[in-house]
Amino acid sequence: LDVGGAAPLSDVQRHCEALAEEPGGAPFAAAAHLLRWFASTQIRNGACLGGNLATASPISDMNPLLAACRADLVLRSAEGSRTVPAKTFFVGYRATRLEPDELVETIKLPKGRPFEFVKAYKQSRRREDDIAIVTGTLRVLLKKVDAGYVVEDACFAFGGLAATVKICDAAASALLGKPWSDETRDASVANLADEVRLAAEAPGGQPEYRAALASSFLKKFWTAVDLELGRPVAETEKSAALSFVDAPKPTTRGAQRWPVLDAPAKGLEKSYATLHKKDDAPLVAGNSAKHQAGLRQCTGEAEYADDAPLPPGTKHACLVLAKKAGRILGVDTSKASEIPGFVAVYGWDEVERGLPGAKNDLGAIVHDEECFATREATFPGSVVAVAVGDNPEAAKRAALACVVSVAEPTPAAPCSIDAAIAQQSFYEDTRHEATSREWTDGALDAAGLVRVSGEVRVGAQEHFYLECNTTLCVPQDDGGLDILSSTQAVAKTQACAAHVCGLPMHKVVARVKRMGGGFGGKESRSVFAACACAAASKLLNVPVRLSLERDVDMRTTGMRHAFVATYTAAVDPATKKFVGLDVQMYSNGGASLDLSGPVLDRALLHVDNVYKWPCLRARGVVCRTAIPPSTAFRGFGGPQGMVVTEHVVEHLAKVLGEDDGGTALREANLYAESDETHFRQPINTAAWRVPRCFERVRETSDLDKRFADVATFNQAHAHRKRGIAILPTKFGINFTAKFLNQGGALVHVYTDGTVLVSHGGTEMGQGLHTKVCQVVAQAFGVELSKVHVRESASDLVANSSASAASLSTDLYGMAALDACHQILARLEPVIADRKANKEPCDLASLAGAAFFRRIDLSAHGFHAVADKRCGYDWTKPQDDRGTPFNYWTQGAAVAEVEIDCLTGDHEVRRADVLVDLGCSINPSLDVGQIEGAFVQGAGWLTTEELIFAETGAQNANHAWFKAPSGTLLTAGPGNYKLPSFNDAPRDFRVELLDRADNEFAVHSSKAVGEPPFFLGAAVLFAINKAVQARREDLGAGDAYLPMRAPATPERVRMHCRDAIADDAVRALGRDPATWQANGSY
């Protein structure tokens, strides 16, 4: 096959697929299989092999294939052409034999020969649209002799093992003339392992895993060839040949089930006796409706902060960042001023001089940050100044031209929890403890109990909202500022911008129409960027726009907290009842406190999950480190606490010898309605439905049968294993800080019967505006299309809490309903008169009549959660601390996975998720929230890994990453991997619990944003069980496996503990029994 250097890869793929069916088609089949997984369809339509070859990426998929398959490259210049073997084309890192005046004209890929076998392999952090960790193409030519075969030619080519394509000539040469046999295979695997061994500090890290992958690919290849030749292969060994690369891309299916209402449900609002009632009013609140901006979002017509039309004269800003942590020695801006289009660079000195009354201190709770770092850069990425230019490129170039000099800290600041513990670097005010009434020292040491102790590690997670933080500041003629910002916290943005600019709050208006995702990352960490932009705008007195690029956003705004927990737990083996749990948790708070205290507190309040631990002591403290401040993220510490709990339950089940995966143990220890949590809140504070959810999902998922099916599958397959896990959850709804549990709304009724609503919440894709409109439409008896929310703004609803804690519908639905109630009360005389005269009483008729009677058709509504149902004060004695949660959102999930024990690849075969949402206001939106939360939760614990450089600490993680300590390696989509479509469950079934209500929220609904997130952890524990099954095959499965999260392909594969994995670990002088893959915690 002759391929033009510029031929689109999609065309190459189609030709290879056709040629694969012909004699000699093995190389083309391998190429077609690899190209299916290369990037995306859009990229394949434009990318070409010539470009792939010229860039000479050491982790290219196609370059090893061309080298292994004897391809030749025709290089063309003005002087003529020459032919170079692909095998010798690559001469170094990003270096080739291509001369400056040459281009790749043609790639000549020869067809295969009789008895020539070619297979391509690839392993990435996720299957789809991802660069390889290791990729390889293996080719062997056999000659038939007597009753068997001998090796006549071979080539093993790999990407991801060296600075260029790695051709393993020694291992291939050692095969020549050898019989194709199991003995030759074992020797070849050993030879290859010697040839691909990597140094401990090899660039890219993962030296043990990458070496093991190469040998694993060879084992897969050999088994696949044996099967094609018809050689005898043990039934259990056949699974070694399987690879996702050449398997059909799986299809997905889903099912959604929810109860259908015939009338609006009554919840907290049933005390509103004067609500307008109309027999033929449509059911709106409780009915599925499209997200009101959904179509515009899908077509690109929805306007975000980044899309807002720019006023004339707008300048553009870019943040000036410190590259390392330490004492700031100075900032040289001289080169920046030489950039064409340069306007200015402002640090705190310029802000302080130019804006009387300006203040530099910031912080979500404690003001321990600076808008512009003055004396110390507390982490790599600290904002030192803001550069302004006529256009975005000029601003970026100016920012990069600034030289920030930072002294090396002595000793180096800790970046990990381990280093922080060693240096005793803590935020001491966050050190909290919650204990059950029954707790006594020594309670877990009683005779006859089964005790376990261990450690749990859970990694951080990047929010990776689709829209990075963006701010547009426009000065006003009264000296104030109008701030359009992609923020979850309008009032916080207003207050902080006023603070930094030296303005009173009534001169600053902050607003947002919608965000392209938030997940908690724009609750407090959007503020510093808005303030920097506001200061520049105020100083210049011109509009200024600041839009963070993805890598800057990731380096500065923070992430979910990594946690490390140590535990001791005990169970009575006779009754299978839990006796107690003693847990100490540490979180990585980063360089400033932000919201780390409340996040840790919520972890402490959720570490019981749904189980009665009679003796429970939960302690925690936040670690101070030199990484970006960790912050709020969907679940707000609750998922980390519950992951710890479920590890403990799994550990106990393993030691007890439970053969049902811990299902019966969980069920036996669920809270009863009469129980009390360790933080002294009665379970019957709200209806307790976890036992019902657990039993229902166990039944609908057919768990017991599938558990047996998984065991049967695992017995039949040595190299593919399945796991299935069930997890329950309860998630407490409220801000634990009492003052935040309030919200306001403004409702205007117009004389045509339409309604405009403003409220303190913000829309980030979750459908809050749609739900509030449904509540208002139901109150007024109008169609949903008659109600609209334009934007969220501080001059419409003042002093709003951030849209967080899953509480927004509860607060703003009730606040809007309160406003409707006020208007409807004013309309009662009008309604009475019109009914007496038999005149229409639709809203338009009523509003028109009321206007002529001079009746106010606007109202400000307000709602606050009842005093006795919110607020938890850690400073008080435990019995006096209060009730943190208004109610629980509850649920359970079952997940089944299959892993490839030779590569660590996994797929989620099926997920069954059941959530108690009371009477949902919008079931279809809520199901979407559940599906998204589940996949995001699974991503946190599988594909998503944040990696920081760490130096100066003993056994520092990721020492290969030669960058200042605390620098984020995974700053962008190239290295940080969200779940792709292929990572969603193949069979995804979601159900809302029937016959459920909730008297403590609007229309009997329940919060949905965060609670289902933890259920994605069922994937982690299913993977753990699958790995454990492989370890048991190999005699290494007696002890509980404390799988660290995320369960990346590296961790999954290396924990399978076969000879290949163990040898790769031993080769670097480490003990396979105790070795763990590096991680940033």
| 3-class state of residue 158 by DSSP | strand
The answer to whether residue 1010 is catalytic is yes
Instruction: List Cα–Cα distances, 28 to 89, 107, 248, 261, 298, in angstroms.
Output: 20, 13, 16, 57, 37
Q: Count how many Cα atoms sit within 13 Å of the Cα of residue 1001 in the half-sphere of its side chain.
A: 33
For residues 615 and 574, give the distance between their C-alpha atoms in angstroms, rounded to a whole number.
18
CA distance 832 to 848: 15
Interatomic CA distance for residues 666 and 687, integer angstroms: 20
Tokens linked to 939: 């991503």
Q: Which of 420, 327, 668, 388 is nearest to 540 (CA)?
A: 388
Which residues make beta-bridge pairs with 759? 745
Residues paired with residue 788 on neighbouring β-strands, in sequence order = 756
Question: What's the rounded Cα separation, in Å, for the pair 815 and 792?
Answer: 14
Longest dimension (CA), the chain: 106
C-alpha span between 302 and 514 (Å, rounded): 9
The one-letter amino acid code at 107 reads I
Helix, strand, coil % (nearest 5) of the chain?
35, 25, 40
Structure tokens at 472: 């547009």
Cα-trace Rg, the chain? 31
Q: Is the separation of the CB atoms in 24 and 11 below 8 Å?
A: no
**In angstroms, rounded to a whole number, what is the distance separating the alpha carbons of residues 483 and 493?**
8
Q: What is the distance between the alpha carbons of residues 910 and 705, in angstroms, rounded to a whole number?
A: 14
| Residues 86 and 73: beta-carbon distance below 8 Å | yes
CA 251 to chain centre: 23
What 8-state DSSP symbol labels residue 878?
A: G
Q: Tell me the CA distances in angstroms from 432 to 422, 630, 907, one per residue in order.
A: 20, 18, 39
Strands across the sheet containing 792-793: 342-346, 383-389, 315-321, 544-547, 470-475, 481-485, 508-512, 792-793
Whether omega for the bond prior to residue 282 falls within 30 degrees of 0, making it cis, is: no
Q: How far apart are CA 1019 and CA 1046, in angstroms?
A: 11
Which run of H or of E encompasses 900? strand 887-900
DSSP structure class, residue 796: T
Cβ(985)–Cβ(252) under 8 Å?
yes
For residue 602, the surrounding DSSP H or E stretch is helix 596-606
Neighbours of 740 (CB within 10 A): 20
The angle, 0 to 180 degrees and rounded to 10, between the axes of the packed helices 923-940 and 1017-1033 is: 40
Q: Using CB atoms within 10 A of its CB, is residue 655 exposed (0-12), middle (13-18) or buried (19+)?
A: middle
Among 220, 86, 97, CA closest to 165: 86
What are the structure tokens assigned to 570, written together? 């005990």
**Closest-CA residue to 1040 (of 664, 650, 659, 665):** 650
Question: Which of 116, 370, 945, 1010 is an active site residue?
Answer: 1010
Residue 453: C-alpha distances to residues 226, 236, 608 (Å): 46, 35, 16
As given in the structure block, the two tokens for residue 858 are 């606007």
Residue with tokens 């000099």: 405
Instruction: Pick the closest to residue 954 from 422, 474, 511 (CA basis).
Output: 422
Look up tokens 């050190």; give the residue. Answer: 431
Residues labelled as active-site residues: 1010
